Amino acid sequence: MRVPRIAIITHERDLHAFAVQHRLRERFGVGAHIVETDHFYRSPGLSWTPEGVGVLPGRDGEAVEMAEMDLIWFRRVGNGRTTALPEVTDPDYRDVIFSDSATAAIGMVMAGYRGNVVDHPQAVHLAQSKVLQLRIAHDVGWRLPQTLISQSPERIRAFCEAMGGAAIVKVVGGSSARTAATTVVSKELLADEASLSLAPAIYQELIPGSRHLRVQVFGDRVHAALFEVDELDWRFDLNFPAREYPLPDEVAKNLHEVLRRLDLKMGIFDLKLTDAGEYVWLEINPQGQWLFVEGMTGMPLLESFSTFLYGEATARW
């Protein structure tokens, strides 16, 4: 029986990549290659020609011939915090090295790679836009928090007033160097003309309640987890009860419809469940983190994801 060939394009120290590589080997006998885009200076380096050569450097020093891969898991590129090349200290040089590595790898996946991809870099790039996500979720019929993206102090104040003072602010894109917390819009912030106008931000109706849903969708597989926590933003202290949650089919269907419109096969969704039982859209992370959810709930996400990936690698046979 032929064993599918899989490459995982990511950056250094990606726990998800290591865990999935290990599970694919144990479960399916597949030896997946890990390609770290911030370590391309390692031999044999990256090479490509328009005639069809495409070689990426594997983490273990192997040459990964793209044409031989049945599947590329395009997990992540770019890593502002990489430990690669400590001897290169000039931030401008570092920027060129790492962004050219990532840009070349993305181009190679887009330029005629014939295997399957989870998920396509263009689709991931588009889906990372919170603006586009909100628009698509709206069109699909999701209940969204009332939203304004703005840096106009006047409009922001009017919006927050209309929310009765219960509004939050969060970043439009953020920076990979630091996770910016979602916070309640304070009177001080509203009075601070300079801060408000510095950059556009997302202002939203505050959705009250302590039921947060993190939903992993891997193809047809849907795994929802419920986090019960009073914090507005649960991401900074994971010390709260978490368990598997039976998501109604109708809700799962609406998540799949967002994925379909974004041309994605997988996504990690953040939703909020109100006390009245309403499911409110917050966002999709096209390649979000999910292993911690297995750690907190015991849900078999690694098994599910590896099976999904194996299925995608053999889908075209």
The residues of the shown chain that bind ligand ATP, judged by CB under 6 A, are 145, 168, 170-171, 174, 179, 182, 204-207, 212, 232-234, 270, 272, 282-283, 285
Contact call for residue 38 and Mg ion (CB under 5 A): no
In whole angstroms, how large is the CA radius of gyration of the chain? 21
**Please, which residue, 36 or 270, has the CB nearer to Mg ion?**
270
* Residue 308: closest CA among 214, 213, 226, 223: 223
**Please, which residue, 24 or 137, has the CB nearer to ligand ATP?**
137
User: Which residue in the shown chain puts its C-beta closest to ligand ATP?
Assistant: 182
Report d(CA 151, CA 195) in Å as an integer.
9
- Sequence-distant (6+) residues with CB within 8 A of 176 are 78, 79, 80, 81
CB of 229 to ligand ATP, least distance (A): 8
Report d(CA 145, CA 272) in Å as an integer.
10
**Please, which residue, 75 or 272, has the CB nearer to ligand ATP?**
272
According to DSSP, residue 4 is labeled P
Q: For 150, how many CA atoms within 13 A lie in the half-sphere containing its CB? A: 16
Phi, psi of 96 (to 5 degrees): -65, -45
Pick from Mg ion, ligand ATP, none: which does 234 bind, CB < 5 to 8 A by kind? Answer: ligand ATP
**Please, which residue, 128 or 197, has the CB nearer to ligand ATP?**
128
Pick from Mg ion, ligand ATP, none: which does 248 bind, CB < 5 to 8 A by kind? Answer: none
**Please, which residue, 3 or 232, has the CB nearer to ligand ATP?**
232
Pick from ligand ATP, Mg ion, none: which does 294 bind, CB < 5 to 8 A by kind? Answer: none
Count of residues in contact with Mg ion, rule CB under 5 A: 1
Pick from ligand ATP, Mg ion, none: which does 314 bind, CB < 5 to 8 A by kind? Answer: none
Looking up tokens 């836009």 gives 129
Considering only residues 234-293, where is the footprint of Mg ion by CB under 5 A? Answer: 270
Q: Are 183 and 232 in contact (CB under 8 A)?
A: yes
Query: In 3-state terms, the chain is what percent helix, strand and coil (to 5)?
Result: 35, 25, 40
- Interface contacts to Mg ion, rule CB under 5 A: 270
